[in-house]
Structure 1
Amino acid sequence: MQNPTALIAEDEPLLARALAAELAQAWPALQVVATVGDGHSAVEAALRALPQVLFLDIRMPGQDGLAAAAELAELWPLDTVPMPQLVFVTAYDEYAARAFDAQALDYVLKPVQPERLRRTVARLQQALAAPQPQPGPDALEQQLAPWRQLLAAAHGVGSTGAAPPLRVIAAGDAAGNVRMVPVDEVLYFEAADKYVRVLTATEEHLIRTPLKQLLPQLDAQRFWQVHRALVVRADAIEQVQRDEAGRLHLRLRGRPGDRLAVSRLYTHLFKAM
């Protein structure tokens, strides 16, 4: 049997080396096939090496660990290898540690805590030894559901409590004016480069607030994330279409010409009742 493999994504080289050294002590059979310093590199290296375990720092320059995990969930070649085990790396913080533990979310603290890492290694070894999902219509969901839960829990770590949902969006224009856009008129939000596009039935606006910061301010019952770069108003969805490759796309009332892709992580939202 081949040795298990892992990727480490950590933007601080000393901490990356410390984690690799501690893993060598706690899990001698584990082969670290790549060490990278940002989320984009993590995605590229993971898709090349297809490791069985990912250690992703939550906060990294450019694309962070959460965004990298969401992208890998969409791009991972499930027809070739099963989804890897996912472990988040976070700076030591008592509140964050309690929050992770409350969600039963596996994590590694910075600086590395040997005893905590050994517990994580034991869980990973157990998970890798477990039988893999059998091919069939439910196999995809069996593999994606744990990732979906991990990402949702990790996004909530550090949250200070729910605020009232936004009612208006302040969007600037090229002339420097600010337009107050009622959230009730928004059909979807789409991340684009350094901006987020705000689409109504008749207009498009740009805002600088990142989608990951905007999402917690929206009513989760009304606005659904359907892709790492896309949030739609649920009651505006008119039709869910499946293409030749089996991927889902949405058509919205008010913007019939727009065809919006649904990523793997969110296909469960559109199962027939």
Structure 2
Amino acid sequence: MMSVMVVDDEPLARQRMLRLLASVGEVAPVTEAENGEQALSCFAETPVDVVLLDIEMPGINGLAVAQQLMARHTSAEQPAPAVIFCTAYDEHAIAAFEAQAVAYLLKPVTRDKLRQALARASRLNRAQLNALDATAIAERNSVDGREFCARSAAGMQRLPFSQVRYFHADNKYVSAVHTGGELILDDSLKELEDQLGAAVQRVHRNALVVWAQVTGMRRSAAGRYRVVLRDVDQGPVISRRHLSAFKARLGQSGQGSGD
């Protein structure tokens, strides 16, 4: 069972969420807080696994509450909870994921969306959270542990860097091609290249590959080279401009070329 705290300054909104939680099942006990200060106080006294958190509240808003929970509770004795934001506004999505939210749900929250978010939160079970230490927390902020805030038909979601195979720019959008498909990011390719450094390799003006996922390159019948990546049917084309640098790095790493 998963313990949950519902934080919302509107009594009717809390009541509706309590009814949804009751219909989802596998959730108990459930506590309530009507503002950010009360939520922090209640969690300090009685920690829970998940906090369903409104953003726009008087006093300390939901984003600040999440940041304080993460800052105050990172030890094995009292780990931070999984945070699911439930709000009527979508403009805080990026800030929400920077606060390490598990999910961002727009009101009115549906039972299916809530169930999916709770399932995602359940992966951070108590045993896993209790195993966190200072090293694990530091790794979460490293390149390998990085997560992106991505857009999909289902809304905003978090995409772990470990699942990304390459980044591709098409007109004004940048997509992250991952093991389950593609998601749109707000970062430009240049920003991603600067942020990720040696973890990625430029292969085309429109493409960056995640180097840890590269297994080689292959020449097509048309004479073009493509990157061979794990779990991807067809990798991006390598442009003539970037071919020599890619080959050099591939040779240094001992990976095959396939040409």
* TM-score of the pair, normalised by structure 1: 0.45
Q: Which has the larger radius of gyration?
A: 2
Which structure has more relative contact order (CA 8 Å, sep 6+)? It is: 1
* TM-score of the pair, normalised by structure 2: 0.47
